[in-house]
Amino acid sequence: MMSELTRLTIAGARDALRAGDLTAADLTEACLTEIEGADALNAFVHHTPDMARQQAAKADARLRSGDAPAMCGIPLGIKDLFCTKGVASQAASHILGGFKPEYESTVTAKLWEAGAVMLGKLNMDEFAMGSSNETSAYGDVVNPWRRNGTDTALTPGGSSGGSAAAVAADLCLAATGTDTGGSIRQPAAFTGITGLKPTYGRCSRWGIIAFASSLDQAGPMTKSVRDAAIMLQAMAGHDAKDSTSADIPVPDFEAALTGDIRGRKIGLPREYRMDGMPAEIEKLWATGAEMLRDAGAEVVDISLPHTKYALPTYYVIAPAEASSNLARYDGVRFGHRAKLSQGDGITEMYEKTRAEGFGAEVQRRVMVGTYVLSAGFYDAYYNKARKVRTLIKRDFEQVFADGIDAILTPATPSAAFGLGEMASADPVQMYLNDVFTVTVNLAGLPGISVPAGQDQRGLPLGLQLIGKPWEEGDLLNHALVLEQAAGFAARPDRWW
């Protein structure tokens, strides 16, 4: 009975809460019970049950008074990248060990103002750098899904792996994620949930621990497209504290969900048909296109000629920005400071602190970023990458100008792989996970991953839809059609 409550969607819970058929206190208690029983997933890394119960009590009072926004009483998990006042927020890094912010991120503050309930903080790749949740200082997250008939532990994807696993395992109704190169959409695809990366600037980045500031964007990870619309509504909006957050009205995203896409034009980019793409992925993509066609859309081939340069561009720009953003972790103002030896000066303090505090992948990216920004290489690497980024964005502008309303692609090049399976691969092999998602960050566009099928071994597969800037409502409407046509209803067998 309790666990059935946690299976609710945001929309379902909202309606039940408003009708008085359910209390936020009961719903919250059910989630807390599920979380307690799910240590094997390693999704929740900081638990905040007292805060959750207090927020739930307030939400119930608000519901009774009739003043209840859609998110009122909805229990959420929060990615560890979001600063939450008085609650550990350490980006899954040792270097922020013990850090408890004195302030609240704008996105989480908006969610609490809307009455949402915080269950705790969710595991992730360290500083959001990773595609498998294996770079976390808290240890790996385990995907609730398993291949049919096996007990091999699989990755939930990354970097928002804890968020994805928690939503897929019904530990919470939804979770926040962040997406710099695919960190919402790839884990959503690996766990059979919906993940939306909004247009760059739609959600404030203030109080979200920075990775690559020109690419980072927060978004909802949910059990349905409708839930993504409802949750984005509460997260979005201009914030004077983030100068890149857009000062434009936030439309009613849920109202855009008409389910009618007749006459809309969907593009299939031919450059996304990669060599060696698994037949299952190709088939899923074709099936998705057929579903949109059946719904009355026109599906056409398009070209995004600079696609193959997106990953190399990303792996210049993201490390460059990371090396700058992560310079603040110096052992002085917050987090970890290394034990120093007799005679050590401030340089030794910096170097030892950062060597101890950052994991291998973070160190690698900070150093690559340092290199591409260093004297003599700035033009050859960093400026070159920024120019190619202009061309990548122009590719999208061109197809939208030609009348394309949305672009359909696979979300990932494979289903979830085994934890440790990529351990012996070079870093670039892991980076290829983001091949279909990274273009969207470089162009600042909204993108959504929708569960659309299963592979031969029963694992979920996702399709990605890419929309025009600021047209999340329209994008969500296309996603709704895909969701309804795909009818993805599978759920992982409970083994944890």
Partner 1 sequence: MSIDHETAAKVAKLARIRVEPDALPALADEFNTILGFIEQLGEVDVDGVEPMTSVTPMRLKRRDDVVTDGDQQRAVLANAPDAREGFFAVPKVVE
Asked if residue 444 binds partner 1 (CB under 8 A), the reply is yes
From the CB of 254, what's the least distance to partner 1, in Å?
24
Specify the 3-state DSSP secondary structure of 461. strand
* DSSP character at residue 437: T
From the CB of 51, what's the least distance to partner 1, in Å?
19
* Catalytic member of 89, 93, 159, 163: 159
CA end-to-end span of the chain: 18
Ranges within 414-433 binding partner 1 (CB under 8 A) = 426-428, 431
From the CB of 7, what's the least distance to partner 1, in Å?
38
Q: Sketch the per residue contact string, 452 through 491, with partner 1: x for CB under 8 A, - otherwise.
A: -----------------x----------------------
- Sequence-distant (6+) residues with CB within 8 A of 479 are 194, 225, 228, 448, 450, 465
Helix, strand, coil abundance in the chain, percent, nearest 5 = 40, 15, 45
Ranges within 194-223 binding partner 1 (CB under 8 A) = 199-201, 214
From the CB of 386, what's the least distance to partner 1, in Å?
3
Asked if residue 364 binds partner 1 (CB under 8 A), the reply is yes
Active site residue 341: no
Ranges within 85-144 binding partner 1 (CB under 8 A) = 98-103
| Cα–Cα dist 82/89, whole Å | 7
Interacting residue with partner 1 among 121, 205, 223, 354 (CB under 8 A): 354
Q: What are phi and psi of 122, to 5 degrees?
A: -110, 140
* DSSP character at residue 128: G
Interacting residue with partner 1 among 174, 196, 443, 486 (CB under 8 A): 443
Number of Cβ atoms within 10 Å of the Cβ of 243: 10
Asked if residue 82 binds partner 1 (CB under 8 A), the reply is no
Number of Cβ atoms within 10 Å of the Cβ of 287: 14
User: Do the beta carbons of residue 308 and residue 274 sit within 8 Å?
Assistant: no
Active site residue 159: yes
| Cα–Cα dist 468/465, whole Å | 10
From the CB of 311, what's the least distance to partner 1, in Å?
7
Ranges within 312-351 binding partner 1 (CB under 8 A) = 312-313, 315-316, 323, 327, 330-337, 340, 344-351
Tokens of 312: 């190399």
Ranges within 370-409 binding partner 1 (CB under 8 A) = 370-372, 374, 381, 383-391, 393
Interacting residue with partner 1 among 11, 41, 232, 246 (CB under 8 A): 246
> Which residues are paired to 46 by β-bridges?
121
Indicate which residues carry an active-site annotation: 79, 159, 183
